Amino acid sequence: MRRAGLWCGAALVAGVVLMALVSLVWTPYDPTLVVAGQRLQGPSAAHWLGTDHMGIDTLSRILVGAQTTIVVGVVSVGIAAVLGVPLGMLAGQAHGWVDEVVMRVTDIAYAFPALLLAILLAARFGASPVTAMTAIGLATIPSFARVTRAGTIQVMSSDFVLAARASGTRWPGVSLRHVLPNIAPLIGVQASVTFALAILAEAALSYLGLSTAAIVPTWGKMLRDAQTVMFGAPLQAVWPGLAIAAAVLGFNLLGDGLRDLLDPRLREVS
């Protein structure tokens, strides 16, 4: 039953990736082609999901929106992992004040919400995908650092690390050869869950008009547009939301499934 979650998650994630890949080479219609005579049509054989307030085919925009979702997720998670993992490894291997300082700083940063940081950056530097991804990435560094630190401490107390250190391997070697490979699965789980968070945060930001330029289709922005016409075309406000929910569900289930796979003892608890 638990594996079912993992497979559902993997399938949903694969579906989103497939949508993004397909949209690179093919979409039913041009996702930027404005056709004034075809505004707000319902689902039909020609337009499976109908058309939006500008007469653009909704399915095409949903497909292209998957690209934005994947890019935002990868970049945000990338920023968080590249900065958070070394910090966590440092804190986990160093003792005393280095560990203390790193962890207290991440504690403080942890309390600062990602969305607030994104709004702050958008106010100063203008709303763009770059500020959105930067904010989401920076705000999720602390959770990567914490997970990495916990994993590192566990690995450092194992016999093979003791043996490696006794035989003269210095800490960069220990980090790269022993710690990193052993905590990689943990980081993978964290990446998957953070990916889901990033999708939600980006959707909220583009809904607020704080992420993308007008012409790039994103699921959050599609919902923003759809809300203004929801009396005439309620379904337009349904499809992008389903896409976001499916993507988030996929990455969450994938993360949970991987976690269970790694640690069978947790199966009962979480």
Footprint of other proteins (CB under 8 A)? 1, 5, 104, 107-109, 111-113, 115-117, 119-124, 127, 196, 200, 203-204, 207-210, 220, 223, 226-227, 230-231, 234, 237-238, 240-241, 244-246, 248-249, 252-253, 268-270
Residue (71 or 119) nearer to other proteins, CB:
119
The neighbouring-strand residues paired with 70 are none
End-to-end Cα distance, the chain = 14
Torsion of CA 6, 8, 14, 18, to 10 degrees: 180
Residues in the chain, total: 270
Residue (35 or 246) nearer to other proteins, CB:
246
Torsion of CA 81, 82, 84, 87, to 10 degrees: 150
Residue 33 CB, shortest distance to other proteins, in Å, is: 26
Residue 177 CB, shortest distance to other proteins, in Å, is: 30
Residue (30 or 107) nearer to other proteins, CB:
107
Neighbours of 202 (CB within 10 A): 29
Encode burial over 49-81: b for 16+ CB neighbours within 10 A, e otherwise: bbbbeebbbbbbbbbbbbbbbbebbebbbebbb
Residue (83 or 208) nearer to other proteins, CB:
208
Residue 198 CB, shortest distance to other proteins, in Å, is: 12
Residue 246 CB, shortest distance to other proteins, in Å, is: 8
